[in-house]
Structures are given as structure tokens and as C-alpha cells.
Structure 1
Amino acid sequence: METFFKIFAIVFTLLFGYAIAVQYNDPDAFKWILIYLAAAAASILFLMRKLKPIVYFILTIFFLVLFVVYWPETYEGVQLDHGMKTVNIEEGRESLGSLIAAAVMLILGMRTRFVNKSKV
């Protein structure tokens, strides 16, 4: 099971890194680079066993708040082809990216808590 979570963390570190790389043409690129950088860093620190579960749970809440805040007024999907057609599509992408990050942080936090509890 340990191998699964290591692979999981590596895969999401790479995916968050990809999300950082494609922010170059985003109107608010710097903000989203920092947001995805936090998720990538937390994934790396999971591999190094450097964070306590509470940090992952705080990040989960942070990403859930972003999910709600950036949910578009009218959901039009995320249409990955042809760039951003409307603000609703851009906000949908940002919102769903935040939800994915929240889910990953929750999983990493639960795993960290489970491993820490089993060592006691």
C-alpha cells in the first residue's frame, strides 16, 4: 500500500507541475502558479514525510473554498480545445482544478494520519 501512495503522490506532483506550466497565458497566472505550487509542494513533502496531517486538512479546506469561490455563474464545461472561449469556462477549469487539489490533499492527509496513528 505504501508504494501506491508514493506513486499517487508522484503522479499528482507531476500533474500539479503541468498545471503550473500551462498557466503562462492565464490572465491571473501568478496567483494560480502559487496555488498549484502549494499543491505540488505538499505532494513532494508527503513523499518526504515532512508534513503533519493537519496541514493537509487545512490545504483541503483552502482548496474547497477556492472551488466554491471560482465556481462559475453558469457552468459551460471546461473545453480543453481552442483555449478559453468564455469566463465561465475559465472559472470552471479553475474551480475543478481546485476540487481535484482538495481531493488529493484530503487523501494525503488521511494517509498521513493513518500511518502516524498506526505507529503509536
Structure 2
Amino acid sequence: MKLFNIIFCILFVLFAGLQYNDPDPYVWVPIYLYGAVLCWLAYKNKYYPKAYITGIVLYTLYAVYKIFDRNGLLDWINEHHAENIAGTMKAEKPWIEESREFFGLLILVIVLIIDLVFARRKQHR
């Protein structure tokens, strides 16, 4: 778990850094840094289940919004035939930006769930 958490801590810090040219970095930098901090703490064997649950709930709700939002995930799939969203780092098409944001939230939620499960298992030992 230590390797898992240090890898995702570094990735989330990098994701936060890549938000400098995003239209709304004030939203996304804290989102990614929240995940990075929780991964860093887990790497240090400090687990905060309430913080994981808070992140999971908020990020899941935001991800669901990104699915149905105009130019969101469903538009990307249905209207734009799931075109490549990794071709260039500059997202000039809004459905690419929204889809990337959805997948970023999905990664965060999955990592937080894994750490929450691990934290709970550790508590029961």
C-alpha cells in the first residue's frame, strides 16, 4: 500500500500542477491536492476514514454532474463518438475538457475507496 499511495500522491500533485492552463484551476487544484494529501498521509500510515468518505461523496456527486452536464461525458460518447481525449493536452473542445474532468474524478474516487477499505481493514486487526 505504501507504493500505491506514494505513486498516487505524486500523480495527484502532477495533475494539480497541470491545471495551470485550465479555465478553472481554483476548483481543480484543491480537488487533486486533497487526494494527494490523503495519499501522503496513508503512505505515512495515517488514515482518516471521514476524510475519505467526504472526498468519495463529493467527488462522486461532481462526477455524476459531469456525466449529464452539457458537453459532459454523455455528449462526448453520443454526439462526438468518444473521440480521442488524450491527443493534445490543450482541450479546445468543451466535451474533451468535461470528459477528462470526469475521469480525473473517477480516479480520485477509486483511490479513496481503496484507501478507505484498507484503513477499515487495518482498524479491525
TM-score relative to the length of structure 2:
0.84
Give the Cα–Cα distance (whole angstroms) in 1 for the partners of residues 101 and 11 of structure 2: 14
Q: Give the counterpart of 1:10 among 6, 10, 13.
A: 6
Unaligned runs of 5+ in 2: 77-81
Q: CA deviation at 1:78?
A: 5.6
Partner of 2:62: 66
Partner of 1:21: 17
Q: CA deviation at 1:62?
A: 1.5
Write out per-residue CA displacement over residues 35-93 of structure 1, whole angstroms, 9 at most, x where no aligned residue.
Answer: 10101001111122333323212211111112111220502456222321311110000
Partner of 2:122: 115
Alignment-mate amino acid for residue 110 of structure 1: V
SS at match of 2:124: helix
Q: Give the counterpart of 2:92 among 85, 92, 113.
A: 85
Unaligned runs of 5+ in 1: none
Partner of 2:79: none
Give the Cα–Cα distance (whole angstroms) in 2 for the partners of residues 61 and 15 of structure 1: 21
Alignment-mate amino acid for residue 74 of structure 1: D
Partner of 2:32: 36
Give the Cα–Cα distance (whole angstroms) in 2 for the partners of residues 97 and 46 of structure 1: 20
Contact 1:78-1:93 within 8 A present in 2 as well = no
Give the Cα–Cα distance (whole angstroms) in 2 for the partners of residues 111 and 45 of structure 1: 13
TM-score relative to the length of structure 1:
0.87
Partner of 2:44: 48
Give the Cα–Cα distance (whole angstroms) in 1 for the partners of residues 102 and 5 of structure 2: 21
How many equivalent residue pairs? 114
